[in-house]
Chain A
Amino acid sequence: MYAWIFRHLPGPLWVRIILSVLLVAAAVVLLMEYAFPWLSQFNPLTDSTIGITE
């Protein structure tokens, strides 16, 4: 799958390497900014209150 994506990126090798790094970085930013904060509310580690079930 990743090999397939890499082959279908445009440009010479060095452009494709830079593009892949950017794609990975974009995925990490999206996860940390949006996916994880949403997921975190289901994490029982964050329950520090008494008698309140979120």
Chain B
Amino acid sequence: MKLPIVCPSCENILKVSQMKCSYCDTSISGSFDLPVLLRLTQEEQEFILNFFLSSGSIKEMARQADISYPTMRNKMDDLIEKVKTLQTV
């Protein structure tokens, strides 16, 4: 199931309020920030995963996606900017 990260009402980033052990049913309540990577969209998370799986080669990713190197690098640059912004929020 897809993890919702944005409030459907006001579109702000959601926080984690409860975590539960599926083995012993222990619950922890609080107000936890989502890690930066989880605050990215599903597509952006898959992009980072693909980057990792292709040993950090933008060229290889471009080949797999059938697009050119600069297009893939631009996607990467845009994502880096977004992650930097999220880190400062």
Is chain B found bound to chain A in the same assembly?
no
Chain A residues with CB under 8 Å of chain B are none
Chain B residues with CB under 8 Å of chain A are none
